[in-house]
Amino acid sequence: MPSITEYTGHGFSEPIVTFFSAIYRTKKTSSLTYYDQNNCLIKEGTADIRLIKFFEEYLYLPIAQVSTRAAAIVVRMQNGCLDSYILYVFVTVVALILFLGAYA
């Protein structure tokens, strides 16, 4: 028989998320609708906890974006055209000759 009163993962981590609400920018909202004017009989309600994924958005994503940009530059250089590869070899040899001539 499955247990439906079991604590979920979100519920388990709710106190920590509230303690660190300044980092996670936790926003809790709730609303209730009533059947009557005096707000006694509850019809339905919603509750919402919103937080930003701090480590993903501010730590991992910037590093990932830097490496994606570096990879895009390398993709443009490795374009499968043999002439550009021969050009790279030529430029490297000329630079090496100049470097050795200047410092060795």
Partner 1 sequence: MIPDFALYCMLNTLAVIIISPLFVSLIKKVKAWTQGRQGPSVFQTYYTLAKLLSKEVIYSRNASWIMRVTPYVNIAAILTASLFVPLIYVTDSVGGIGNIILFLYLLVLARFFMALAGLDAGCSFGGMGSSREMSISAIIEPTTIIVFAALAFVFKSLNIFDMVLVSSATGTPVTPTLILIGISLFIILIVETSRLPVDNPETHLELTMIHEGMILEQSGRNLALMELSAAIKQTLLMALIINLIIPFGLATSLSLVALGIALCVFVIKGTVLAGVIGLFESSMAKTRFFRLPSLFIMGFFFSTLVIIIEVFA
DSSP per-residue letters across the chain? ---TTPPPHHHHHHHHHHHTHHHHT-EEEEEEEESSTTS-SEEEEEEEEE---HHIIIIIHHHHHHHHHHHHHHHHH--S-HHHHHHHHHHHHHHHHHHHHHH-
Among 3, 37, 68, 79, binds partner 1 (CB under 8 A): 3
Question: Considering the rule CB under 8 A, would residue 12 count as an interface residue with partner 1?
Answer: yes
Q: Choose the stretch contacting partner 1; rule: CB under 8 A; options: 5-13, 30-38, 64-72, 77-85.
A: 5-13
Question: Considering the rule CB under 8 A, would residue 1 count as an interface residue with partner 1?
Answer: yes
Contact footprint for partner 1 (CB under 8 A): 1, 3, 5-7, 11-16, 18-19
